[in-house]
Amino acid sequence: MDGAPPRDGADLLRTAAGRLEALAARTTPGDWRVAGLLASRPEVVAHAPGGGTEHVAEARAGTGAWIAALSPALAAPLAAWLHAAAREPVDPAAEAFARALLARLP
């Protein structure tokens, strides 16, 4: 992540992956779940592997960039990637992403 522009498609993918990993490392960790309503807004709670919980709204400094980075603007390119990856042989990383996504979608 030296700030240099990606040189090719593979470099672009590695750069995006690295930035996503860095963003995730500084974001409130855990499995985020909707746990009801807090006033008129959904209450999102991060469940840590050790059993602890944290309201994501209380950790805005760490989660704001994550929410903005994974905004609905990514839906079209992610859906296009999943459609493209659905060809045989299926990319294991795409399959893992789809499984994780489906576990969280209604």
Domain positions in the chain are 71-106
**pLDDT confidence of residue 104:** 83
Q: Which residues of the chain have pLDDT under 70?
A: 1-3, 6, 38
**pLDDT confidence of residue 7:** 76
**pLDDT confidence of residue 31:** 87
**pLDDT confidence of residue 78:** 92
Q: What's the pTM?
A: 0.69
Q: In whole angstroms, what is the distance from residue 90 CA to residue 65 CA?
A: 31
